[in-house]
Chain A
Amino acid sequence: MPSATTTPPPVTDIRDAFFGELHRLAQNDRRVMVLTDDQSAFALDRMRTELPAQYINIGIAEQNLINVAAGLALGGLRPFVCGISNFLSLRGCEQISVNLCAMNLPVTIVASGGGLTYASDGPTHHSVQDVAIMRSMPNLTVFNPPDATATAACAALCRECEGPAYVRIEKGVMPSLYAAPADFSSGVGRLRPGSEVLLISTGFLTHAAVHAATLLEASGIECGVLDLYRLKPVNAEAILEQLKGVGRVAVLEEQTPIGGVGSLVCELLAEQGAGIPLRRFHLPDGPCYRYGSREWLHRQFGLDAATVAGDIARWIGPAKLRATA
């Protein structure tokens, strides 16, 4: 299991971390092909300039994007398909299912803009169902890393997958949560100790989870943080190990309540008969027609660190008062 960082965070844009690693992989393996539906990113532009034979801009045609990638993989190449999460996962959904997953082809889908990344662009651009959809796809490995270190590691892990992979990548500079180099094979990372409540999150919101835990600590509540950077195959054994001795579980995600990480944790707990009280923080099951920044939207839906910490404190508080009375 990778360890949480204790050193000052390096300044690395998460998307550049992934595409930089992908560029390195492509330089060393001419079978690596990068396909996109017209995505613009500095590192992708570099790929286009420096490795033009390994780069194809398909145009805005996600169905064909996935199908061509399937053909390239059948032909012995290792395609990475880059685009916006919502369009890849919904417009290309059937192609991903029947061509990549059912035929178990080594194609990596690089999904940018997960969750509410494109906040004020509205529900056509919000990717709040893709975790549920991709979790249901057979043979698919699903990654959702929270920082540059884990994201770069996922590029290499995807390259090593014998079947299809789906990786959600963020953009922008965010604090490092993991120490590098690290072994990211376990799929889960314990970022903070604490067993009074264990806050489980994934991707971008793992940062809010860590922040919420620090706020709770100041309130005298021990809140551990578990990051699920790989959602499929889920490492049930490692998660259950982390749940030992935990009083309560909270799950924080930037998806609808159906089929995402909250569902994943519920499934695990129910199957194990763990009986641990659980609280879920998620987006509503419906289109979001409120317009503002991602952070503003998180506050609107109670997914920001302060609201999460406050809700958990109120949830635990009465029991704690009873215990100490």
Chain B
Amino acid sequence: MIGTDPGSAAAAPAAPHPAAPALAAKAAWVRFQILEMIAAAGKGHVGGSLSCADILVALYAGGVLRHDCSRPQWPGRDRFIFSKGHAVEALYAVLAQAGFLSPDSLRSYGTDGSSLGGHPDRLVPGVEVSTGSLGHGLGIGAGLAVAARRQRQAHLTFVLLGDGECYEGSVWEAAQFAAHHRLSNLVAIVDRNRQITVDDTEDCNAFEPFAAKWRAFGWEVREVDGHSFPALLEALADVRTRKGGPPLAVIAQTRKGRGVSFMETTVGWHHRVPKGELLAQARRELALS
């Protein structure tokens, strides 16, 4: 179940979904790759990568996004903008799982001359828009949605934002624009992990009531458990049939560092790299997940 009514509070559990176990297994693989990439490179954004891993797997493996790894530029593909570009390790792992990259190529991350940088660029197969500076993706997505509508193209545009990214004013410039133009072919998903680098969002500059802000800007809002595949898939089930209405914002409640207990319970794992016993513990926990 998802909260869709104005003012609705926390999401209720969604009904079981037959694909959920398989997706959970895929997400476990993705999480392990994230950890290994960052451990090998000695750098990366582990917390935000782990928080958005389930969202990415739901999109790419859950039948939400239309994509074809054999034709990355297939005109009929959905456009996906990974606006929280710093969590690139999650994107690379999912692109490898979806066939855009070879799993072996993930080993090159962080090495000299690698084609996989610390933020995604369009030269990487499957990456639609180069990102890294926060707050740009939603406006670009709005432009893509306008272009698709003007040319009567059926594909959708999805943008994944971090919640910390929503401190950027340009996000709200784009939100207002997209609602005014009733871009029902645009879907924003916010990874609401509630943490930035050194703070809980509610302690340093509170977002709440976050969903109400999106609603006030004219968006349809669905709040979901961002680690529940049934909830994510239910929230995104009708994206192709909701025509003529407002754009859709899915606020995915997540935990930064999801899957690693000591990351989930402490602030500070935005871009810290686990080493020694902490790395061993993270490996054990992610291997078991």
Residues of A within 8 A of B (CB): 53, 56, 58-59, 61, 63-64, 66-77, 79, 94-95, 98-99, 102-103
Contact = CB atoms under 8 A, between A and B. Distances in A.
B141 interface: yes
B169 A71 contact: no
Contacts of A70: 129, 136, 139-140, 143
Interface string B137-164: 0111111111110110000010000000
Contact of A64 (B129, B130, B139, B148): B139
Contacts of A77: 147, 150-151
Contacts of A61: 170, 173, 176-177
Contacts of A94: 133
A103 B176 CA distance: 25
B136 A68 contact: no
B139 A67 contact: yes
**Interface residues of A: mostly helix, strand, loop or mixed?**
helix
B143 A103 contact: no
Nearest to A77: B147
Given A68-B174, A99-B136, A53 B150 contact: yes
B128 interface: yes
A67 B170 contact: yes
B62 interface: no
A223 to B, nearest CB: 46
Nearest to B128: A74
Contacts of A95: 136, 139, 170
A68 B150 contact: no
A51 B141 CA distance: 23
B132 interface: yes
A75 B148 contact: yes
Given A58-B177, A77-B147, A68 B129 contact: no
Contacts of A74: 79, 128-129, 140, 143-144, 147
Nearest to B146: A72
B141 A71 contact: yes
Nearest to A103: B130
Contact of B151 (A56, A58, A73, A76): A76
Given A61-B170, A72-B144, 18 more contacts: A53-B150, A58-B177, A63-B139, A64-B174, A67-B136, A67-B142, A68-B142, A70-B140, A71-B139, A73-B143, A74-B128, A75-B146, A75-B148, A77-B147, A94-B133, A95-B139, A98-B133, A103-B130
Q: Which 6 A-B pairs have the closest CB atoms?
A: A71-B143, A75-B147, A67-B139, A64-B173, A68-B143, A63-B170
Nearest to B119: A98
A64 B144 contact: no
Nearest to A94: B133
